[in-house]
Amino acid sequence: MPHSDPAMDDTAIRLGVDALIAAYADCIDEDRLEEWPDFFTEQCRYVIISRTDYAAGLRHGIIYAASQGMLTDRVMALRKANIFEPHHYRHIVGPTRITRADAGVAEVQSNFLAVRIMHDGGTQLFATGRYLDRIDIASRPYRFIERIVVLDSHKIDTLLVIPL
């Protein structure tokens, strides 16, 4: 069946995954970016990539990081540079789908939409796409081993400063 969900009976995993995903969005939207790397395991993979590039088998995308350290560097660079017009995001994340959960790892998908709010109050639909996650559920708190952000549109890179 195309829409069976083998892991869905495990309520505790589902709630833990949902809490992680909601907390991640909150961390970014509330500009607590210094906490952002802690949502990932030490060795990890964070990629932002367009849908067409992802479908073509590319794996490094617009933004790529392979460790918590690289994520931290990114946040520090963003804080220091500070050359862009101030803005923040508001993430709306749809329901999560756990497509697999075993050996301490959950594979999870969710749709998201990010609205961008400029300092002057201007608001626009900024990005939509999918989170494709591999989550370490063997220890608490849950952390992302891999988070691939697949953007629906390829028209976005120059504006992308804050992580999604």
Where do contacts with a second copy occur on this chain (CB under 8 A)?
Answer: 1-5, 8-9, 11-12, 14-16, 18-27, 29, 32, 35, 38-39, 88, 90-97, 109-113, 115, 117, 120-125, 128-130, 140-141, 152-156
* CA count, 13 A, side-chain hemisphere, 155: 3
CB closer to a second copy out of 1 and 103: 1
Beta carbon of residue 106, minimum distance to a second copy (angstroms, whole number): 14
CB closer to a second copy out of 47 and 110: 110
- The H or E element spanning position 150 is strand 143-151
CB closer to a second copy out of 18 and 63: 18
Beta carbon of residue 43, minimum distance to a second copy (angstroms, whole number): 19
Which has the closest alpha carbon to 13: 138, 147, 131?
A: 138
CB closer to a second copy out of 15 and 76: 15
Beta carbon of residue 36, minimum distance to a second copy (angstroms, whole number): 9
Which has the closest alpha carbon to 98: 1, 2, 26, 4?
A: 4
Beta carbon of residue 92, minimum distance to a second copy (angstroms, whole number): 5
SS3 of residue 86 by DSSP:
coil
Which has the closest alpha carbon to 134: 41, 3, 72?
A: 41
At residue 2, φ and ψ (nearest 5 deg) are -65, -25
